A and B are shown apart, each in its own frame.
Chain A
Amino acid sequence: MNQSECPLMKEKGKTAKRLTEDVLSMVKTHSINKMNAIWLEVTGCSGNIISFMNSDTPGLYEILTGIVNLRYSNMLMGAEGEFAFERFLETLDMDFILLVDGAISTKDNGAYNIIANYNGDKITALEATRMAGERAKYVLAVGTCASYGGISAASPNPAGCISAVDLLDRPVIRLPGCSCHPDWVVGTLAYLTGYGEPELDEDGRPVLFYSITVHDSCSRRGFFENGIYARNFGEDGCMYQIGCRGPVTRADCPRRKWNGYVNWPVEDNSNCIGCTQRYFPDGMEPFVIY
């Protein structure tokens, strides 16, 4: 691949950090407006919003005051009960971004996941995702459950979980990852706020974050090239022979790293388990082969 073809080189000027800094200053100088947003936790572990709260720079407070006007979030909002759900309904009449965190449970017409009780009506995650998904300007599937079904749809899929993409008959931006890296969400939000839709691959993922495999830029690639393999977790060396899914997994973990950019699974002497992939977890197991 020559330089002009490499998607990384092309997208280099638009790092998540640069983007968010630009957008923060654009909002401050009123050249653009903050977008309204609904963060809808549905059938999952709520780990994607916890990961979002781990955003480093900008931190959660700068995001909430500078990039999006998060009008509904089960985890962060002050209101509760019907008054809270009214904020959800109100937002549907505005221009807004919908962030879906979790898969959508469809068994028994969605009864396995109730997100609100409004005037005696039980609002299922299924119904709420449809309501907001139909009206949102942009829909982001945050995490692997919302993107592909993920662990919530793992065999035998007891709750009949499907992805937000399969539920909604409209374009959805996929941000897979279990959990989704905060930069992937915040960077995409900043892009949408400041510049509109980012370039997406054939699967609806922003090229900016998902264009190459973990193996492509792995910090242990040199071991692979030289045939030095780890025999078990805990060792140095390429972990290809004990089941590392880096070669098939599209994500920028090796260069981006996690949690204040301090570490990532392979540097912690363990396999990439393919958590951003369509067939995670069933198709990515075994996570380790001894």
Chain B
Amino acid sequence: MGKIITIDPITRISGFLEIQAEVENNVIVNVKSAGLLYRGFERMLKGRLPMDAIYFTQRICGICSSAHAVASALALENAMNLNISLNDSYIRDMIHGMEFIQNHIRHFYQFSIPSFARIKSLKQVDNQDYRDFRLPEEINSRIEEHYIQSIEFSRLAHEALAIFGGKAPHNHGIFLGGVTATVDPYRLEKLKTIIGRILSFVSNVMVEDMGIISGYYADYFKKGISYPNFMSYGIFNNYEDKEITFVKAGLMVDGAIEALEAQNITKHIKYAWYKREQDTDIADISKKDAYSFIVAPRYNGMPMEVGPLARFIISGNYSGGHSCMDRYIARVLETDLMLRLMRKIADRIEILPNDQKPFVIPQEAYGAGLVDTARGALGHWVQIKNQVHEHYDIITPSMWNLSPRDSSGGLGVLEMALLGTEINNTKEPVEIGRIVRSFDPCVSCATHVLGGNARGKTVEIIV
């Protein structure tokens, strides 16, 4: 048996993740990715009011709360056969889009950069026991300066979100039937101004910094490669207007594009700390072989990578590979691309009243809300009975990326990316954290379990 390396906490992510890697002759020969937080949202949501869930589910995640608002609203609108107006769709995409921008800027500068450049003026960031920092002094200090500047731009992204969202984290603006916001020329102009300022920083500074990092750490184009399976539920995809369309729902498996069929999604719980009791899954930390609170979602039995790189590959925007460094690059390029799309969407927003009315929740209904978010494909499935939630099911992007093994023993996406990785110095296994963070893990989001039985209408569970 080789040397076991345990890294816990993996810091500079959202939530609690442990990586255990077995290393032989400086190569990872076995690996486990474990999410170490459980709250049980699906169980809490049973019996709650469907409209409240749009605000309630945002509390799953502090860094991507708007994503849950969108998925929850879409699921309910799907259950009620409700279509939202074009103008409300634009505004909702602005709110959600700004969440992407806040995420991506923070992920790049505050979470990722400290693994590649030294932030000397902040001792708590600089104090690390790794020495593999390769940037020449002058370049390093420029990037440190950008780390500091970026703080204002991620804050501004949340300010722009709040213009129509009310506040962030946990906005109020995204609601059943569209948005609650009133558009006026001042707010719209403010939004456009912020988009312009952030875009200028991203395209002039962030993209260049990414280029510099990828040059000095070019070996990471060969590390962290996982399965050639990618999936997206689509984002900025409901427009006929191609100029503002980003990526439609779809899959790329081994180089071939496939249509998404949501009924092919299953969840495997063999290696997750849950047991089935009647029709509910209960946390059980004594379960044999289990090692994570994250269940393993699979598509036709296959693990799927989700996130910016998956979107770029599926939409044909990327000709590179799918390594650790490619994931970082795709996220940075996506920040730039999305801001440009958002500028165009903002130009199309009209000064029109919102479409809110006193909605009536049906007695019984079923709906699914599938949408891509900053970290990838997010799904909410709802079943309503007597006007309250009978079942609520959530599969987050980080569940796809950070999952443990499935029922047949197949590794999760992150586990596969780490397997076979060469560790230069096992006393300083810096490679592991760099690869893990390329997925932008969010464990706050990832630890979920189905709250009820499937009845062929929600996601099937495989024990």
Chain A residues within CB distance 8 Å of chain B: 41, 43-51, 53-56, 59-61, 64-65, 69-81, 83-85, 87, 105, 107-108, 111-117, 120, 150-152, 154-156, 158-159, 161, 178-179, 231-235, 242, 258-260, 262-265, 267-271, 273, 275, 281, 285-288, 290
Contacts and interface: CB of A to CB of B under 8 A. Distances in A.
Given A79-B11, A287-B51, 15 more contacts: A44-B62, A45-B60, A47-B65, A71-B124, A80-B10, A81-B6, A84-B11, A113-B36, A114-B8, A158-B40, A233-B175, A235-B356, A263-B163, A265-B172, A287-B55
B37 interface: yes
B379 interface: no
Nearest to B168: A259
A253 B358 CA distance: 25
Contacts of B168: 54, 258-259
B162 A260 contact: yes
Given A46-B62, A71-B124, A56 B155 contact: yes
Contact of B12 (A55, A70, A80, A273): A80
Nearest to A234: B356
Interface in B119-141: 119, 121-129
A285 to B, nearest CB: 5
B148 A51 contact: no
Interface of B: 6-16, 18, 36-40, 43-44, 48-49, 51-52, 55-56, 59-63, 65, 106, 110-111, 114, 119, 121-129, 148, 151-152, 154-156, 158-159, 161-170, 172-173, 175, 179-182, 190, 283, 285, 293, 353-360, 433, 444
A50 B63 contact: yes
Given A46-B15, A53-B151, A158 B38 contact: yes
Contact of A232 (B10, B37, B172, B358): B358
Contacts of B43: 156, 158
Contacts of B156: 260
Nearest to A107: B283
Given A59-B151, A117-B8, A267 B158 contact: no
B48 A54 contact: no
A23 B419 CA distance: 50
Contacts of B18: 114, 117
Nearest to A287: B52
B173 A79 contact: no
B44 A74 contact: no
A259 B38 contact: no
Contacts of B167: 258-259, 263-265, 268
Contact of B62 (A45, A80, A150): A45
Contacts of A269: 180-182, 354, 356
A262 B159 contact: yes
Contacts of B51: 286-288, 290
A113 B44 CA distance: 18
A158 B354 CA distance: 38
A259 B161 CA distance: 9
A178 B356 contact: no
B11 A74 contact: yes
Contacts, number: 262
A70 B355 CA distance: 45
A112 B48 contact: no
Contacts of B52: 281, 285-288
A48 B63 CA distance: 9
A114 B9 CA distance: 9
Nearest to B40: A158
A59 B149 CA distance: 10
Contacts of A44: 62, 444
Contact of A262 (B38, B124, B190): B190
A70 B124 CA distance: 7
B285 A232 contact: no
Contacts of A78: 11-12, 114, 119, 124-128
A154 B40 CA distance: 10
B8 A77 contact: no
Nearest to A145: B59
A78 B129 CA distance: 9
A71 B161 CA distance: 30
A71 to B, nearest CB: 6
B170 A178 contact: yes
Given A114-B36, A288-B52, A290-B360, A46 B12 contact: no
Contacts of B127: 77-79, 87
A54 B114 CA distance: 20
A149 B180 CA distance: 29
B125 A77 contact: yes
A113 B159 contact: no
A159 B129 contact: no
Nearest to B118: A78
Given A46-B62, A79-B127, A156-B43, A270 B166 contact: yes
Contacts of A286: 49, 51-52
B176 to A, nearest CB: 9
A74 B122 contact: no
Nearest to A288: B51
A178 to B, nearest CB: 6
Contacts of A71: 124
B357 A232 contact: yes
A107 B38 CA distance: 10
17 contacts: A41-B16, A45-B62, A47-B59, A48-B62, A59-B152, A60-B155, A74-B9, A75-B12, A75-B111, A81-B6, A108-B283, A112-B285, A233-B180, A286-B52, A287-B49, A287-B55, A290-B359
- Which 7 residue pairs of A and B lie closest in terms of their CB atoms, listed nearest first? A47-B62, A234-B356, A158-B40, A268-B166, A117-B8, A259-B162, A258-B167
A53 B63 CA distance: 11
Nearest to A101: B62
Nearest to B8: A117
B85 to A, nearest CB: 12
B173 A158 contact: no
A233 B88 CA distance: 14
Given A113-B38, A262-B162, A285-B48, A151 B12 contact: no
Nearest to A85: B9
Contacts of B175: 233-234, 270
Nearest to B62: A47
Nearest to A112: B38
